[in-house]
Chains A and B, each alone.
Chain A
Amino acid sequence: MNVVEFENVTRAYPKKVMALRGVTLALPEGAVCGLVGRNGAGKTTLLRMIPALLHPTDGVVRVFGLDPWESQEEVKRQTGYLSENEVLPNTVRIRDMTDLCASLYPNWDARMAGDLLARFGLEPGRKLGALSKGQNRQVGLLCAVCHKPRLLVLDEPAGGLDPVARREFLEVVINLLADAGSTVIFSSHILSDLERVAQRLVVLHEGLILLDRPVDELKENICRVEVAGGIPAGAKELLSGRKGCFHAVQKDGALRITLACAPDEATEFLKRLLPEAPDIRAGNAVALSLEDIFIELTGGRL
Chain B
Amino acid sequence: MLFTINPNDGLPIYRQIMRQVKHAVASGRLAPGDKLPSQRDLASELVVNHLTVKKAYEVLEAEGIIATERGRGTFVAAGVPDDLRARGLRDIKARARDLADAAQLMDLDFKEYRKLTDEAWTERRKEKGERT
Contact = CB atoms under 8 A, between A and B. Distances in A.
B8 interface: yes
B62 to A, nearest CB: 15
Interface string A190-205: 0111011111000000
Given A171-B44, A219-B12, A192 B49 contact: no
B50 A195 contact: no
A191 B7 contact: yes
Contacts of B11: 219, 287
A25 interface: no
A175 B10 contact: no
B10 A287 contact: yes
Contacts of B51: 32, 177, 199
A219 B40 CA distance: 24
A289 B52 contact: no
B47 A171 contact: yes
Interface in A157-181: 167, 170-171, 174-175, 177-178
Nearest to A194: B7
A216 interface: yes
17 contacts: A170-B47, A174-B43, A174-B48, A177-B50, A178-B44, A178-B50, A191-B7, A192-B8, A193-B7, A196-B13, A196-B49, A216-B14, A219-B10, A263-B10, A286-B10, A289-B8, A289-B9
A57 to B, nearest CB: 34
Contacts of A167: 47
Given A167-B47, A174-B48, A289-B7, 18 more contacts: A32-B51, A171-B47, A177-B50, A177-B51, A178-B43, A178-B44, A178-B50, A195-B7, A196-B48, A196-B49, A197-B49, A199-B49, A199-B51, A215-B12, A216-B12, A216-B14, A219-B11, A288-B10
Contacts of B44: 171, 174-175, 178
B37 to A, nearest CB: 14
Interface residues of B, number: 20
A199 B50 CA distance: 11
Q: Which of A171, A178, A192 has the most CB of B within 10 A?
A: A178
Q: Determine the main DSSP class of B at the interface with A.
A: helix
Contacts of A193: 7
Interface of A: 32, 167, 170-171, 174-175, 177-178, 191-193, 195-199, 215-216, 219-220, 223, 263, 286-291
The 7 closest A-B pairs by CB, nearest first: A287-B10, A192-B7, A216-B12, A178-B50, A289-B8, A219-B12, A195-B7
A115 to B, nearest CB: 14
Contacts of A178: 40, 43-44, 50
Nearest to A289: B8
Contacts of A290: 7
Nearest to B12: A216
Contacts of A291: 8
Given A178-B40, A289-B7, A196 B12 contact: no
Contact of B49 (A174, A286, A288): A174
Contacts of A287: 9-11
B10 A32 contact: no
B86 to A, nearest CB: 18
Nearest to A290: B7
B47 A220 contact: no
A71 B47 CA distance: 35
A111 B7 CA distance: 33
A178 B11 CA distance: 23
Contact of B10 (A191, A196, A289): A289
Contacts of B12: 215-216, 219-220
Interface in B34-89: 40, 43-44, 46-52, 55
